[in-house]
Amino acid sequence: MKETVLSARKLCKSFAANGVQNHVLTGIDLDVYKGDLTVVMGASGSGKSTLLYALSGMDRATSGEVIYNDKDLVKLSEKELTLLRRKDFGFVFQKMHLVSNMTLFENVVVPAYLDKSVPSGETDKKAKELFDTMGISEVKDHLPSQCSGGEQQRCAIIRAVISQPSVLFADEPTGALNRRNTIEVLDLLTKLNQNGQSVFMVTHDVRAAVRATRLIYIEDGTISGEMTMPPFEAEKEKSRETQVNAWLSSMQW
């Protein structure tokens, strides 16, 4: 039995625009499991990012519950939510949001220093290890502008996981990358996941979807299908891609 890290119950999210309610999420029931690399796919506008924001406390659901550690995120105060996002969750987006006049290494450690419960020496040590194991230690003292998009995104991922979040949320992390950089970033996410990091990723990219241990399809704000897969192995990528493509066709992708 897999352990649940996050649960959504009857989750709804609506936006009001020009006096009209746009019901984007219309009653999502979902358990996110510890250790999974969960990937959400679906047409543009189906509500994937909205779901990621609601589950991660970046935005508040209109109704329903999001249970994390016996707390309902929908009911937390802004202050409690901010703290929870900072301490328990990691975030990666299409844009890396790195500080341009700081090196990759500084981009990782400076925000981590804000957590006063961890000595800065320990943060530096952990950051060095992550740069090493993730294969970008040779550019750690470069500015973002001196690095490839893949190196920048891998840095953003290291920044997001250095505090050991319960869940790493990623919204289209390869959306702005070329093929080679996409593979580098996906290899890193896969490695992190296989070392125990729970990942919740939204993507349009089949190359990202093949990395999933669980795939979820969203259609008009509800879950219309899901599929589980064993952990990714590079040798089986082709057959996995065939399997994911067949599943996506069955979902009318």
> What residues line the site for Mg ion (CB under 5 A)?
49
- Distance set, CA 124 to CA 82, 107, 140 (Å): 24, 12, 12
Q: Classify burial at 169, counting beta carbons within 10 Å of its beta carbon; exposed 0-12, middle 13-18, buried 19 or more.
A: buried
Written as one string, the DSSP assignment of 134-156 is TT-GGGTTS-GGGS-HHHHHHHH
Q: Which of 45-53, 110-118, 149-157, 240-248 is the region at the interface with ligand ATP (rule: CB under 6 A)?
A: 45-53
Question: Looking at the DSSP assignment, which residues form a beta bridge with residue 20?
Answer: 17
- For residue 64, the tally of other CB atoms under 10 A from its CB is 18
- Report the residue number, 49 or 152, with the smaller CB distance to Mg ion: 49
Looking at 28-36, 44-52, 106-114, 135-143, which segment touches ligand ATP (CB under 6 A)?
A: 44-52
Contacts of residue 177, Cβ cutoff 8 Å, sequence gap at least 6: 149, 150, 153, 185
From the list 39-47, 129-137, 154-162, 189-197, the region that binds ligand ATP by CB under 6 A is: 39-47
Which CB, 23 or 71, lies closer to ligand ATP?
23
- CB nearer to Mg ion: give 49 or 174: 49
Selected binder of ligand ATP within 15, 83, 113, 233 (CB under 6 A): 15
Q: What does 38 interact with, of ligand ATP, Mg ion, none (CB < 5 to 8 A by kind)? A: none
Closest distance to Mg ion from the beta carbon of 57 (Å): 17
Task: Please identify, using beta-carbon distances, which residue of 133 and 222 lies nearer to Mg ion.
Answer: 222
- In whole angstroms, how close is the CB of 127 to ligand ATP at the nearest point? 31
Give the one residue of 18, 44, 77, 100 binding ligand ATP; rule: CB under 6 A. Answer: 44
Least Å distance between CB 241 and ligand ATP?
Answer: 20
Q: From CA 51, how far away is CA 222, in angstroms rounded?
A: 10
Total residues found in the chain within this entry: 253
Phi and psi (nearest 5°) for 13?
-140, 125
The contact set with ligand ATP (CB under 6 A) reads 15, 17, 22, 24, 42, 44-50
